[in-house]
Structure 1
Amino acid sequence: MRPRSGPTVQHRVLAARLRILREQAGISLKAAADALGAHPATVRRIERAETGLDARQVTGLLRRYGVPPAVAEPILAGLGAANLPGWWHHWRDVMEGWQQDVIGVESSASLVRTWHPALVPELLRTPAYAAALYRMRYPDDSPVRRERRVELLRERRRRLGERGTALWALLPAVALHTRVGDPQTMAEQRRALAAAMERQHITVQVVPLDHPPHAMTAMPPLHLLRVPAPEIGDQAVLETPGVRVDLVDDPDAVMAYRIRLDAACAAAPPPGTPLPL
């Protein structure tokens, strides 16, 4: 069973190491599963961080792969921490499954790049702006649940700031003209965005209304997450509003999204350009 609060990066790293060790030993999924008396799908789920890391199973796999103690011991020592729920577990009652997976990666990211075609990107939204969007997206929410969603966004932003995570956002000027909430909410959001542009770890580029089409034109919201762990490559989060959200880790697909976003950023006014009126 996938951990209820989504796998942490520590969990993903250990799962990836198990896959790498199996591949280096030249052992098939079936042979690894036979060592556990299990189905190959069990090993596949372990390697994808879709289930908890059971010490007995991990020990059996390491033994089957012929892993020396110097390599095996740190992996076994890290199981306890890897199986702990992430900090976001406290808010799981107001999180969708995809959010748990995404925040599990975002919580250890050194760089977050984000694009939204019509709105201020999530990590730059004020509480009032976010609450107005939550009222629209979750009309059946109680005020308490809506506030918990806002609290979660605050905590995400606080932790990114404490860790010094770099945030690079690209958005169209239409986001500054699409009224979310009342005029006061929009005025506060514009001031907050202008203030964010002055911070050391935040880069904001705004595409003017009269700008020609660029590589991200008509693309849905996209986020690229870079985690400083060699076992985990860059991740892409592609949103299809109202349909689904995909966490993409295929290197070729992530590279294609990065190239598109790079091209759009290169075509946009440079960072530091004042917000358009």
Structure 2
Amino acid sequence: MRPRSGPTVEHRILAVRLRLLRERAGVSLAAAAQALQAHPATVRRIERAETGLDARQVRVLLDRYGVPAADAEPIIAGLGAASLPGWWHQWRDAMEPWQQEVIGMESSAGLVRTWHPGLVPELLRTPAYAAALDRVLHPDGDPARRERRVELLRERQRRLSSRGARLWALIPAAALHTRVGDQRVMDEQREALAEAVHSPHVTVQVVPLDHPPHPLTGVPPLHLLRVSAPEIGDRAILETPGVRVDIVDDPDAVMNHSMRIDAACAAAPRPGTPFPVL
């Protein structure tokens, strides 16, 4: 069975607004559920964007919360856009379930900060590098599904660039020494990185091999996503390859990760410093 496409940011924003309206009205989950003639878990799932948005349910909730018609109508009008599947929906057969939430946030992020301890970060990988790495990570994988994953990555990169979103990557020099694929693949990847730094929306810092430890030394792949919507807080994504992916939304925990990446970037050579010679 194919996984359900993750919620869009528009869906998340509307879900948060419904929760805030309920809380401001002093209505409990149980009372809201009673208005819907449903279980409180249904309201909780609506407020967490874990289920589709039903216009009848939303109208009932807004009425129960005493929302004036002038305030309710824009919310109802936004249901159509919030209910549309994300652009990544067509690739869901080649995605891990956690990727749907991450890409949903990434697709509206104005800033993506990324760190990888030993490889070129995903959003800066060439198709050949991504495919070669996929063959290592999924040696028995379906070639057609592999190609779909590479296509999805290219579309993510294209959309990030077309929106003018900022990408800030911190890379250890070890990533440029770890050979993925053959020498041609690595040469192409290195050229792509050198070209990427000329984009006004891309910042790349490379930590030399002889650099002292920094706050991200030993930390698994880390990504910070910032969406310019007050209802949506920053997200931190921590990857433990082959084990799990943690999507962190607790503000204090996200701030802790943000401070660590700030300190690591401050300790690294300034952006624009030439890449180390291999």
String of CA shifts for 1:61-111, please: whole Å, max 9, x gaps. 111110111111111111111111100011111001100110000001100
Structure 2 residue identity aligned to 1:199:
S
TM-score, length-normalised on structure 1? 0.98
- 1:1-60 deviation digits (Å, cap 9, x = unpaired): xx8110001100100100111111111111111111111111111001000011111111
What's 1:233 paired with?
A: 233
Equivalent residue number for residue 209 of structure 2: 209
The residue type equivalent to 2:218 in the other structure is A
Calculate the aligned-residue CA RMSD, in Å: 0.9
2:115 aligns with 115
Which one-letter code corresponds to 1:222 in the other structure? Answer: L
In 2: Cα distance, 1:171 partner to 1:26 partner:
48
Whether 1:48 and 2:48 are equivalent positions in the alignment is yes
Aligned to 2:158: 158
What CA distance in whole angstroms lies between the structure 2 residues aligned with 1:245 and 1:16?
Answer: 24
The residue identity in structure 2 corresponding to 1:108 is S
**1:72: which partner in 2?**
72
Matches within 5 A, 1:114-193: 114-193=114-193
State TM-score, norm by structure 2. Answer: 0.97
**C-alpha separation between the residues in 1 aligned to 2:63 and 2:247?**
32
| Counterpart-to-counterpart distance in 1, 2:71 and 2:275 | 52
The letter for the 1-side match of 2:246 is: D
How far apart are residue 138 of structure 1 and its match?
A: 2.0
Aligned to 1:264: 264
Give the equivalent residue in structure 1 for 2:196. 196
> For 1:71 and 1:268, how far apart are their aligned partners in 2?
49
Q: Could you say which residue in structure 2 is the equivalent of 1:94?
A: 94
Counterpart secondary structure, 2:223: strand
Aligned-partner Cα distance in 2 for 1:52–1:130: 33
Runs ≥4 residues deviating over 6 A: none
Percent of pairs with identical residues: 77
Q: Deviations 1:189-223 (Å, cap 9, x if unpaired)?
A: 11111111111100000100000100000001010
Stretches of structure 1 that go unaligned for 5 or more consecutive residues are: none
The CA deviation at 1:143 is 2.0
Counterpart of 2:53 in structure 1: which amino acid? Answer: L
Alpha-carbon distance in structure 1 between the residues aligned to 2:139 and 2:59: 48
CA distance in 2, matches of 1:228, 1:34: 34
Q: Which residue of 2 aligns with 1:223?
A: 223
Structure 2: how far apart are the matches of 1:60 and 1:90? 32
| CA displacement at 1:144 relative to structure 2 | 1.6
**1:141 CA displacement:** 2.2
Q: How does 1:16-55 map to 2 (within 5 A)?
A: 16-55=16-55
Provide the C-alpha distance between the structure 1 equivalents of 2:45 and 2:135, rounded to a whole number of angstroms.
36
Task: Report the CA distance between 1:139 and its aligned residue.
Answer: 2.1
Q: Residue deviations 1:139-176, cap 9 Å, x none? A: 22222211111110010000001000000000100000
SS at match of 1:110: strand
Partners of 1:56 and 1:140 lie apart in 2 by: 47
C-alpha separation in 2, matches of 1:126 and 1:237: 22
- The one-letter code matched in structure 1 to 2:206 is V
Aligned mates of 2:276, 2:205 — CA distance in 1: 11
Residue 6 of structure 1 aligns with which residue?
A: 6
Q: Indicate the residue corresponding to 2:248 in structure 1.
A: 248
Q: Distance in 1 between matches of 2:242 and 2:147?
A: 21
Distance 2:74 2:239 in 1: 37
Query: What amino acid is the match of 1:90?
Result: Q
Match of 2:103?
103
